[in-house]
A and B are shown apart, each in its own frame.
Chain A
Amino acid sequence: MDANTAYLTQNTPENVHTVEHPLSGGKTLEEILSNIEMTIIEEKEEHLIIDLVGIEAPIANALRRIMLSEVPTMAIEDINLWQNTSVIPDEVLAHRIGLIPIDADPRLFKFKHPNEEHSSENCICFKLHAVCRRLEDGSIVGDKVMSGDLQWQPFPNQQERFGHFKPVHDDIIIAKLGPGQEIEAELFCEKGIGATHTKWSPVCTASYRLAPKITLKKEIAGENAINLKNKCPMGVFDVKKGKAVVKNPRNCTSCRECIREDDSMVSLAKVKDHFIFTIETTGALSPRDIFREAIKELRDKAAFWLDKINIYKRTPKS
Chain B
Amino acid sequence: MESSDNKKFSVAEDETGKGCTFAFTGEGHTIGNALRYLLIKNQDVEFCGYSVPHPAEPVMNIRLQTYKNPPLETLEASLNQLTSVCDLLLSKLDSKNI
Contact = CB atoms under 8 A, between A and B. Distances in A.
Nearest to B97: A39
A304 B9 CA distance: 11
B41 A20 contact: yes
A191 to B, nearest CB: 8
Interface string B21-33: 0001001011101
A58 B33 contact: yes
A284 to B, nearest CB: 17
B65 to A, nearest CB: 14
Nearest to B36: A58
B38 interface: yes
Nearest to A300: B1
A72 B89 contact: no
Interface in A46-66: 56, 58-59, 61-62, 65-66
Contacts of B83: 299, 302-303, 306
A59 B34 contact: yes
Which label, helix, strand, loop or mixed, suits the secondary structure of the A interface? helix
B79 A306 contact: yes
A59 B37 CA distance: 8
Interface in A1-28: 20-23, 26, 28
Interface string A283-318: 000001001100110111111111011011100000
A109 interface: no
Given A298-B34, A305-B9, A39 B98 contact: yes
A72 B3 CA distance: 12
Summarize B's interface: helix, strand, loop or mixed. Answer: helix
A34 B8 CA distance: 34
B16 interface: no
A152 interface: no
A196 interface: yes
B69 interface: no
Given A20-B41, A308-B9, A309-B75, A65 B30 contact: yes
A308 B7 contact: yes
Interface in B66-98: 72, 75-76, 79-90, 92-94, 98
A29 interface: yes
A292 B34 contact: no
A38 B11 CA distance: 37
Given A22-B43, A28-B41, A38-B98, A61 B2 contact: no
B41 A29 contact: yes
B52 interface: no
**Smallest CB-CB A-B distances: 8 pairs:** A299-B86, A58-B37, A308-B9, A302-B82, A38-B92, A62-B34, A65-B30, A58-B33
Interface of A: 20-23, 26, 28-29, 33, 36-40, 56, 58-59, 61-62, 65-66, 70, 72, 111, 192-193, 196, 288, 291-292, 295-296, 298-306, 308-309, 311-313
Given A40-B98, A299-B83, A306-B80, 11 more contacts: A22-B41, A23-B43, A58-B33, A61-B34, A62-B30, A66-B30, A302-B86, A308-B9, A311-B9, A312-B11, A313-B72
19 contacts: A20-B40, A20-B41, A22-B43, A38-B89, A38-B98, A39-B98, A58-B33, A59-B37, A61-B33, A292-B93, A298-B30, A298-B82, A299-B86, A300-B1, A302-B83, A304-B4, A308-B9, A309-B72, A312-B9
